[in-house]
């Protein structure tokens, strides 16, 4: 059981279900190296309280977690054993973090770790010793912790207050031997030894080597939330060292940028807030090349009342030149581009810095039925919908220089001041046209004509538009109507889940602000149709339907593999 960590989902679920009040101080941060690529945290107590206030008991959720059959009875018994007699402290936050070492050229190792609280390390050890699945595996002790290697790629380590479950993979990459003229696969290192060394680091590292020393990580816990996420660009430094071309100051650009996020289940919506803390190098660039806010006029005349998705961004194109200058590679890039007849500056000056993508009327057309030789056949269908990508032109001289070069190469044709994609070039089914004012791609020529006529009026709720105003990027996704468009085309396996999702989920709105006070802030709302009930309680119904559909699909797949011609009626009826 523990050799495969099969109960980790159950452990996380239990942390959601049963817990008592606990401190917000992230003492577990001392275990997490500061170069961890990602950290996810959940606060089970907050979630439990919200469910209880909505009238959902723990017993009800546990009953939904397990089916009534022999296999689930066994696993439920183990679940209860872990809950009651494994020495676990369910008041603690649950931490999941990942690290990567090495690089793509020489091979890399990946460690994924789960941290949970303990009331008693000795009680947890006694629980492990009672598990027959561990067989003769030996529990070993170090100065600061005790551990058990459960497989060549997994182990459990604990002290008196915390337990860490680790999954470890060590990958090697073939290289080309120029003497032997063949690819060679290096011998895989001792994963067991490397895994033990990795876990030893968690328990013995000093504070300044851990996330406990990173202010951005600690500050995020000042906000009371149900979940947290943290990411760092420091994990990419190993990749930079393996690049064949070492760019000056690239490490200054990448290192010590952090993203901290909180997640809260509120009445009628799930709210996530993000704060990206940038290093001085990046901060100076963002200050110097501050961008405008999204141009909502690009959306105004979109020709549809059934918008499924919107993505908009606004930026100062000169920031690309600023990055090249600060990295001291502008001359190098321009030397590569000499033969093209234009410079890097011509490229980034081409567009004004406003971009909008709108998708609408998504769905699956009705079945086309044809009759041939007295037999009915169903013709395959493809999704339908409309789309516009629009980007206003910036410097007209730079734009003309690049587009005229594209005409010379046969990619576009030119009629007056208008450029159209060449019939010789595959257009992926898109219609594209550009002039000295706009570059526009459309799903078809009719949608393009309707959009540029400025006679249509896009239908977007004022509540969403108000959230778009003053933002540097926005994204919108209408969940209800998108699911409705595909409801009858997904087959029968997940119809309950699709119907439940359509009735529960409304839309998603995500926005980011421009750089201010040393950070870039963002917000995402997943809005639900039931605005009065807490969103976590509302979602339990969706999760239940998904679980039922998954079990039914698995049962159907099992029956089909056992009886390819169909389940005999006598078995089905009995």
SS (H, E, C) 51-119: HHHCCCCHHHHHHHHCCCCHHHHHHHHHHHHHHHHCCEECCCCEEEEEEEEEECCCEEEEEEEEEEEEC
What are the two backbone dihedrals, phi and then psi, of residue 350, each rounded to the nearest 5 degrees?
Answer: -60, -45
Residues contacting 90, CB < 8 A, separation 6+:
14, 15, 18, 19, 20, 44, 83, 117
pLDDT at 191: 79
Q: List all residues 6 or more positions away from 190 whose beta carbon is below 8 Å from its beta carbon.
A: none
Question: What is the dihedral sign for C-alpha 143, 145, 148, 151?
Answer: negative
Give residue 2's pLDDT band: very low, low, confident or very high (50, 70, 90): very low
C-beta separation of 430 from 439 below 8 A: no
**What are the tens digits of pLDDT across the range 100-159?**
887 655 567 899 999 999 998 989 998 998 888 887 889 999 999 999 999 989 999 999
Q: How many CA atoms lie within 13 A of 478 on its CB side?
A: 22
* pLDDT tens readout for residues 427-471: 567 899 999 999 999 999 999 999 999 998 888 888 889 999 999
Q: 146-151 and 139-141: which strand pairing?
A: antiparallel
Q: What is the pLDDT of residue 32?
A: 96
Per-residue pLDDT at 9 exceeds 60: no
Please give the Cα distance from 567 to 361 (Å, whole number): 40
Write down the pLDDT at residue 107: 67
In the chain, domain spans: 8-213
- What kind and span of H or E run contains 230? strand 227-232
Contact 277, 139 (CB under 8 A): no
Q: Are 529 and 505 in contact (CB under 8 A)?
A: yes
Q: Binning pLDDT at 50, 70 and 90, where does residue 70 land? A: very low
User: 78 pLDDT band (50/70/90 cuts)?
Assistant: confident
> In this model, does residue 574 exceed pLDDT 50?
no
**Got the DSSP string for 351-386?**
B-SEEEEEEEEEE-PPPEEEEETTEEEEE----EEE
Are 248 and 327 contacting, i.e. CB atoms less than 8 angstroms apart?
Answer: yes
């Amino acid at each position: 059981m523990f050799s495969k960590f099969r109960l980790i989902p159950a452990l996380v679920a239990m942390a959601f279900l049963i817990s008592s009040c606990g401190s917000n101080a992230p003492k577990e941060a001392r275990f997490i190296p500061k170069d961890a690529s990602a950290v996810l945290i959940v606060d089970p107590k907050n979630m439990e309280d919200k469910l209880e206030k909505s009238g959902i008991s723990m017993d009800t959720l546990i009953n939904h977690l397990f089916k009534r059959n022999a296999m689930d009875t066994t696993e439920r018994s183990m679940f209860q054993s872990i809950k009651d007699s494994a020495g676990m402290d369910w008041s603690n936050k649950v931490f999941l973090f990942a690290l990567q070492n090495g690089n793509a050229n020489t091979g890399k190792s990946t460690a994924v770790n789960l941290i949970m609280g303990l009331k008693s390390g000795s009680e947890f050890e006694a629980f492990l010793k009672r598990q027959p699945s561990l067989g003769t595996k030996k529990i070993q002790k170090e100065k600061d912790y005790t551990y058990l290697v459960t497989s060549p790629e997994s182990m459990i380590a604990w002290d008196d207050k915390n337990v860490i479950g680790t999954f470890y993979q060590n990958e090697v990459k073939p290289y080309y031997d120029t003497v032997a003229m063949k690819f060679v696969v290096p011998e895989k290192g001792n994963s067991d030894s490397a895994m033990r060394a990795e876990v030893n680091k968690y328990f013995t590292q000093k504070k300044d080597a851990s996330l406990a020393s990173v202010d951005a990580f600690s500050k995020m816990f000042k906000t009371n939330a149900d979940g947290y996420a943290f990411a760092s660009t420091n994990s990419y430094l190993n990749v930079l060292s393996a690049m064949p071309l070492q760019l000056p100051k690239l490490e200054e650009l990448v290192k010590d940028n952090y993203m901290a996020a909180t997640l809260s289940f509120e009445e009628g919506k799930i709210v996530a807030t993000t704060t990206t803390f940038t290093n001085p190098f990046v901060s100076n660039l963002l200050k110097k090349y501050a961008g405008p806010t999204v141009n909502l006029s690009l959306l105004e005349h979109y020709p549809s009342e059934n918008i499924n998705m919107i993505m908009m961004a606004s930026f100062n194109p000169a920031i690309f030149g600023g990055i090249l200058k600060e990295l001291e590679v502008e001359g190098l890039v321009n030397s590569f581009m000499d033969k093209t007849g234009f410079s890097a500056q011509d490229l980034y000056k081409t567009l004004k810095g406003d971009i909008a993508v709108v998708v609408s009327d998504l769905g699956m057309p009705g079945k086309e039925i044809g009759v041939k030789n007295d037999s009915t056949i169903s013709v395959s269908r493809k999704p339908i919908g409309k789309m516009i990508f629009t980007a206003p032109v910036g410097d007209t001289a730079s734009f003309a220089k690049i587009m005229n070069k594209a005409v010379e190469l046969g990619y576009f044709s030119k009629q007056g001041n208008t450029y159209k994609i060449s019939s010789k070039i595959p257009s992926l089914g898109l219609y594209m046209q550009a002039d000295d004012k706009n570059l526009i791609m459309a799903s078809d020529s009719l949608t393009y004509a309707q959009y540029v006529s400025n006679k249509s009026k896009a239908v977007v709720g004022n509540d969403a538009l108000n959230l778009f105003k003053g933002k540097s990027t926005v994204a919108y996704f209408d969940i209800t109507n998108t699911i409705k468009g595909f409801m009858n085309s997904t087959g029968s396996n997940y119809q309950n889940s699709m119907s439940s999702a359509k009735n529960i989920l409304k839309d998603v709105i995500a926005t980011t602000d421009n750089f201010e006070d040393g950070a870039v802030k963002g917000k995402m709302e997943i809005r639900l149709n039931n605005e009065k009930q807490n969103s976590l309680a509302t979602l339990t119904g969706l999760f239940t339907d998904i679980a039922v559909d998954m079990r039914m699909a698995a049962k159907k797949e099992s029956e089909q593999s056992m009886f390819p011609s169909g389940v005999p009626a006598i078995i089905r009826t009995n």
